[in-house]
Every structure is written in structure tokens, then in C-alpha cells.
Amino acid sequence: MSISDQLDISVVISTYNRASVLPAAIESILRQNAPEVNYELIVVDNNSTDDTRQVVESFSTRGHRNVRYVFEARQGPSHGRNAGIANARGRIIAFTDDDVRPAADWLSNIKRAFDSNPEVECVGGKILPSWPTNPPAWLTGDHWGPLAIADYGPDTIHSAPNTPICWSTSNIAFRSAVFDRIGGFSGTFMRCQDRELMCRFMREGGRMMYAPDVVVTAEVIAERLTKAYHRKWHMTTGKYHALMRLYEHMGPDGRIQAQPLETVRLFGAPAFLYRESINECARWLREIVRRRESLSFKHENRVRYLLAYIKESYRTERALQKGTRFVEVLRFVKAMLHKKTHLISS
């Protein structure tokens, strides 16, 4: 029996200059109550300049032979996680972060989820918050995205065909064969690598599942409790989603297609995003009038996201000749007028 056959799960943590918090992350894996799971922990040093290597190797010298140190000089989370994938020997590869603490049954429940659902290739679960202080009143569940927090409830959820559940690499696991088929994380993106990978996975026909008992707790730093952080996060995310052409492959119904959708576009952005921007502006104004801070901020950030997406789409399309852009504008206006006439007649 080979080593890869013997190992059920390879846990990958990519880290950069976080030697002060890394020991607690490693210990949270080594304290797993999972006697039935054969696993290894791969800590990828993503070109750190602190004592990361010494911290990891201190566990090995204390007899923890399943803790492995890997160095990756290319900077960026994608490169770090890909180095972990390349060195993994488990049939399942699970990802978490150095500021995340998995529950004691995390590995057991990951293995059980895959063993009980042989058709599933990706499993994610809850990412619960560890607050540094009481969060502000406006920070409801509608605003958990920028905090990389996720809780879809107590029931198991199988994703609908071509419709992903958005997960963070704080708590996600794949069958290792997936990366042989679709490749690893994209080094093109310094942000949103997990979304890009998930969309590629779904375009290739991947099956995913939310397992509510696969739980981790993530530290929420104080900076992320500010509105300024949330505004910046939505605008940056909109930009990166435009770069990966997210909505060119995903229609208003949320379904991801293997090929770009045949739809009217203006400056590279699908027409429905312009309509949604107008609708979101109206909702934003309505909630301001009603003095509902959390909801108004939700719609404000959606507007910021959409405008950033449209702006980045325009930036990547502006090399086109003016005549080509003029034709695109005419086609867009014609399509909108046709849609309006259709709605009135119906």
C-alpha cells in the first residue's frame, strides 16, 4: 500500500510572516479527535522572513511526523496553496488558514461527508466568527461576506447543477483528483482565488456539498468591523470578478455555464448588471429614507460592487475602436428598448 493510499486527508495551511499565531493553528489540527483518520498537515511557508520555519520544524522535532514544512518562494496565496497541493499525499485535500481554528471533529466530519457521498468532490462547512469586541449594530449576517464568515444553517445542502455555494479556503476540502482535472488556484488573482477556482470547478461539472458539522472558527480583526473596510472590499471584489468574467459565465439565475452566455453587453459587462445597478440604487435610497442602516449599507455595497465590475469591464474593453464601441452602444440601447416594449405589451 502506497503512502497516498494510507493517508485520508492532507491539510494545507499557507502562511506568510504569521509565526506568532501559527503554533495555535498547528495545535488545533494536532488536537483533532479523529482516530479513524490518517492525515498529514502541510504548512507552506510563502516566503516568510520571520521564524515560520523554526516554528513548524519544532513540532517535527517533538515527534509529530505528520507535520511537514514546505517552502514556496513565489509570493501569493495561490502559489502557497498550489505548493501544498503538489506535496499532498492524501486522497482528500483540506484547506484552512493560520488564523482559523477547526473544531475537534473537523477531520472526522470531512472524511464522513466524502465517504457517505461518493459523487461529491468538494465539501465546505460553517465558518463561525470569533469577535474581538461586540460588532456594530449594522453588521448583521448580510455583511458576513467581507469577514469570510459562512453559516447556511443546520441542514446538508447539495449544490444545484452549475450553481456554486460561495466558500472561503478557510474551510473547504476537495478530492485530490479534482486538481488533476482542473488545475490549481490561479496565480493571476491576488484576491478571490477561491471564487475563481469554484467557478472553474462548477464549469467542469463538479459536485459540491455543504456539511453543517464541518465547522471552523475564524478570528475577525477589528479593522473588518468598519464600514470603510466593507466598502473597499466590495469594490475590490467587483474588480476581480470582472477580471475573471464571472457574470459572462453566470446569468441572473446564478447558474454557471461552461461557455460565456450569449447576452447583450455594454463595454464588456452584461446588460442585466446595468439594470441591477439602477434597481440597487433605488433600494439603497428607499432604505435610507426608512432609516434602516444595515439594509441601506447592504444595497450601497452592492452598488459599489456592480459599478466596480462595470468599470473594470470597461477598462479591459477600451482598446476597442470607437466605431466598434458605437455599434455596441446602439445594440445595447436597441435591446433595452425591445425588452421595455415586450414588458409593456405583456
pTM for the model stands at: 0.85
Of the three residues 222, 242, 276, the one that is the final residue of a domain is 222
In terms of average pLDDT, the best of 41-45, 153-157, 328-332 is 41-45
Whole-number pLDDT of residue 271: 83
pLDDT per residue as tens digits for the range 178-208 = 999 999 999 887 788 888 898 889 888 889 9
pLDDT per residue as tens digits for the range 237-257 = 999 999 888 877 766 666 666
> What CATH number should be reported for the domain holding residue 38?
3.90.550.10
Q: Is the pLDDT of residue 327 over 50?
A: yes
Of the three residues 222, 238, 264, the one that is the final residue of a domain is 222
Give the residue, 331 or 33, on which the prediction is more confident. Answer: 33
Shared domain for 16 and 150, answered yes or no, is yes
Q: How far apart, in Å, are the Cα atoms of 186 and each of 126, 259, 278?
A: 24, 19, 33
Domain that holds residue 305: 229-345
Shared domain for 129 and 268, answered yes or no, is no
Give mean pLDDT, residues 221-235: 96
Give mean pLDDT, residues 287-295: 97
CB 158 within 8 A of CB 196: no
Q: Residue 171 region, left (φ>0) first, then alpha (ψ -120 to 50), else beta?
A: beta
Shared domain for 297 and 192, answered yes or no, is no
Whole-number pLDDT of residue 2: 39
pLDDT classification of 332: cutoffs 50, 70, 90 = low
Whole-number pLDDT of residue 124: 95
Of the three residues 170, 201, 222, the one that is the final residue of a domain is 222
Shared domain for 33 and 170, answered yes or no, is yes
Whole-number pLDDT of residue 253: 62
Shared domain for 273 and 173, answered yes or no, is no
pLDDT per residue as tens digits for the range 120-151 = 999 999 999 999 999 999 999 999 999 989 99
Q: Is the pLDDT of residue 339 over 50?
A: yes
Shared domain for 308 and 216, answered yes or no, is no
